[in-house]
Chain A
Amino acid sequence: MFPDICRLPIAASSHSSEIFRIALPVGLLAGAAIVLLHLVITRFCGKAPQRKPWRWWEALVYLGVLGIIACLGVTAFAAVLRLGAIGGWWLFAHMCGAGAMVAALPVLALMWADSNRFQIGPADSGPAEPVQFLAIAKLAYWTVLASGLVVAGTMIVSMLRWLGTPGQQLMLDVHRYAGLVCVVAAGVHLYGVALRRLAP
């Protein structure tokens, strides 16, 4: 029994590409489900607090990061779904996007972190302060940052002569799933922003 259980991760690791091909659409569908669920819930909620306008550079950084994540998601997931593995020009484009992602993530963190702090407990008395993001968008923002850190970190560590093949495989697996989480979170964040801006 015990040796069998021990072998499970090994078996999973040797088929990790196949498993990820199955997990990928499931993850994307889960993201869509979160959005739908939130839409349903918000219909029954009260009025949202007042909207805080964006400055142009905030919008630029936001759109930039969103574009980079979209590029990384498309190059990775389309290649995985269509070809089974990422390679060739897909990989090259993914690698170029990754460089931009590494540069953009800290900027996103420094610029938006404060606006994405959660209000814990009841608000202070007085008129409600205008906010930039809904709670779901804030949650998605911190998820993007955390998963982005893992996504970029796993690949940078893989570029060093630290890990052998099993370690590289582990890094790749973590990279894949963190990337999926990052893309889904970015999608949810975009939905949160759109909802906020489209709301009357």
Chain B
Amino acid sequence: MNWRLLAVAALLPWVGAAAWAATAETRFSQTLSRSDYVHWIELYDAKGDQIDPARPDAAPYSPVHTCGRCHDYEAIRHGYHFSTGSTSGDSSRRGEPWIWTDDRTGTQIPLSARGWPGTYDPAGLGISEWDFVLKFGRHLAGGGPGEGPSAAGDPPAAADAEDAQKPAKPAKAGDKAQANAPAGRWHLSGQLAIDCMICHAKDRSYSPEVWSDQIASQNFAWAPTAALGLGRVEGKVSALPDDLDAAAADAKDKLPKTTYLPHRVGADKKVFFDVVRTPDDRACYYCHTTRFTGAEVAPEWTHDEDVHLRAGMTCSDCHRNGIEHQTVRGFEGETSPSGQPVQTLSCRGCHMDESGGGRLGAPRAVHKGLPLVHFDKLACTACHSGPRPGDKPVQILTSMAHGLGLPAHHYGEKLPPAMVAPVYLQAGGALAPHRMVWPAFWGALKDGEIAPLNPDKVYDALRRTLRVRRGSNFTAAVSEVKLTAADKAKALGEERAAVAEKELTGEEKAKLEELTAVMAADAFRKKLAEALGELKKTLPADGSEPVYVAGGRAYRAAEGAVEAFEHAAAEPYAWQFAHDVRPARDAIGAASCFECHADDSKYFAGVVTALGPAPDNQPPQSTMRQLAGHDPLMHKAWNLSFPGRTAFKFFGFASLGVLALVLLAYSALAVVAIARFVRRL
């Protein structure tokens, strides 16, 4: 055979593959310009059909098919914000979990499918994608669980969307599919696909509040249209019966109606999307806001914003990503699934890396006079991030946990889950500030392991026992106590007990408060014993024992009473934070070494008290020093050495001055002796 022919035959597959690859690269249109592309675009529905916005029966637009025509939705859907799978960003460092809070049962379970220790996989607790989206959809950007149970595999998004529109098939007896039938009403709600505009809307017309409302109404497929203000959506999927056939002829009249606003639609049926390539901070803040709460916290206007933002940067300047949306988290040692090196997007990489860094004009950290050992023992954030440490960490509210960003009247320190910051813990050998939350849940103890029970099932089982009234909460319901005259007399004496409450001294009021706390804890334990007994009836007879975990303790029934015990499941969940970053002059230790190296330094002496829905008059407490795992004797020894440092510097200079003079004098003598010797030769 001719060798040329052979060579051509061998090369053909490669050429073909290269040609295919070249074609694949151009599947999605690009401008490659640094200027923004002006998005006057056609709208497409979930089936991929073009929408005529002027029609009265127009479908809501689908970001999958509208944005996905030019942008690789399939790549985007694996991004860090939308997916928790193995391809989704670097999950090696713990982050803020979703916290399933149920005020009726005293539940606050840290959830994450990223496998972070201390969190629970929602699927493992029987929390379906449907439940998850209804609970947290307010701060989900769509995608992930929003794509429904079928997204567990890896089907094309378009097929998902179509399938989701179809009604669930009636199951036959014994049908395996029925046993695995996905929970929820996806056939009516449609998918909650990634809404690109939740982050990429440039103008201020996008409303997360409308997004949240639409999700609460189960109008998943309608949420992007309504939130962007492209049209008005009337009707609620939540008001429809489960067995409504979405494909039936008359279903359209019952499903929510979309009316596009005429002024948003061009003559050619195109719609203007005001898109920004890198999202604005406002978009990030919707899900990533943290607020301090409590009586001792100074008003918000006294707090400074992150120094980077004040310098004109945006969140996405560091937390950046490509089309695959593997957003850089920005911690040291992070690896990006994109394969790109990202170390210069961390604090140290950008401000201290000698061979790189300095991105966007980042100043080199000076740290004058700071011994290098601090860089081994402390993360940058330990001195530069978050609130300054106080006698105790402050209580915080976050968007993900408390729903910040949506108008409400109930924000405050009593709003569960109780969360605190900063708590300084070891992370990779260095001390770093963390946020902390104590899990609270009803669970089953078996073979020494505690597994949380499904929160909804717990509610069904304990509803009558706990009797939490509407408008009240678990803590109030299980610790309801009223001090009798006899109780008051016992605490204050007969004479003072008869005095009106407003005339009592501060000390007396404190005594009464203490008594109330003790009685509340007693009342809670009685109620808890009842509830644990009730819960036992729902557990399988396999040796499982009902327990309640809250406020750093676990509780179980013991001979008609309740016993508190320590268990790893009751340990707090903590995750590092980095923002808000304070400038160099406001860093801890910038003013004086004594900010940390003193016995009363808040940095180590601050007391962390476990918080949770369980009334506890003696909650577990630890100092920051204990939590950091530091030797108190060593701290003491170091602290003792600090007051003498200034004197030591003077003494050192004097001493070395003498030494230098001796060396100088004898060097001079040596020179003279050598000179004499040379002259003698």
**Interface residue A109 (Cβ < 8 Å from any Cβ of B):** yes
Structural contact, B649 and A89, CB atoms closer than 8 A: no
Q: Which B residues touch A46, using CB under 8 A?
A: none
Whether, in the assembled complex, A105 has its beta carbon less than 8 Å from a beta carbon of chain B, the answer is yes
Contact pattern, B 566-608, Cβ under 8 Å of A = 1, otherwise 0: 0000000000000000000000000000000000000000000
* Known contacts A88-B634, A89-B634, A164-B367; is-contact A109 B662 (Cβ 8 Å): yes
Check: B369 CB closer than 8 A to any chain A CB. Answer: yes
- Stretch of B119-127, B196-204, B433-441, B673-681 with 4 or more beta carbons under 8 angstroms from chain A: B673-681
Complex CA distance for A7 and B377, rounded to whole angstroms: 27
Residues of B within 8 A of A103 (CB): 651, 655
Flag the segment in B391-399, B449-457, B663-671 that touches A: B663-671
Q: Is A25 an interface residue (CB 8 A)?
A: no
Q: Provide the residues of chain A in CB contact with B659, threshold 8 Å.
A: 105-106, 109, 145, 148-149, 152
**Closest A residue by C-beta to B680:** A121
Contact between A120 and B368, CB atoms less than 8 A apart: no
B622 at the interface (CB under 8 A from A): no
Which positions 362-390 of chain B face chain A at CB distance < 8 Å? 364-373, 375-377
Neighbouring B residues of A160 by C-beta, 8 Å = 369, 649
Count the A-B residue pairs with Cβ separation under 8 angstroms: how many? 114
Interface contact B656-A152, CB-CB below 8 Å:
yes
Pair A159/B649 contact, Cβ less than 8 Å: yes
What's the tally of chain B residues with a CB closer than 8 Å to chain A?
42
Residues of B within 8 A of A153 (CB): 656
| Number of A positions contacting B (CB below 8 A) | 46
Known A109-B658, A110-B658, A120-B673; judge A166-B680 contact (CB<8 A): no
Which A residue sits closest to B365, measured CB to CB? A165
Contact B655 A87 (CB under 8 A): no
**Residues of chain B contacted by A110 (CB below 8 angstroms):** 658, 662
A183 CA / B556 CA spacing, docked (Å): 62
Establish whether residues A168 and B372, one from each chain, have CB atoms under 8 Å apart when the complex forms: yes
B172 beta carbon closer than 8 Å to chain A: no
Is A14 part of the binding interface, using a Cβ–Cβ cutoff of 8 Å?
yes
Tell me which of A91-99, A125-133, A187-195 binds B.
A91-99
Q: Which residues of B contact A161 (CB under 8 A)?
A: 368-369
Using a CB–CB distance below 8 Å, which chain B residues touch chain A?
A: 352, 354-355, 364-373, 375-377, 631, 634, 637-638, 641, 645, 648-649, 651-653, 655-656, 658-660, 662-663, 666, 669-670, 673-674, 676-677, 680
Interchain residue pairs A-B with the least CB separation, the first 3: A161-B369, A106-B658, A109-B662
Q: List 9 A-B contacts (CB under 8 A).
A: A10-B355, A99-B648, A102-B656, A105-B655, A120-B673, A159-B648, A161-B368, A164-B365, A172-B372
| B-binding residues in A (CB < 8 A) | 7, 10-11, 13-14, 85-89, 91-92, 95-96, 99, 102-103, 105-106, 109-110, 113, 117-118, 120-121, 142, 145-146, 148-149, 152-153, 156, 158-166, 168-169, 172
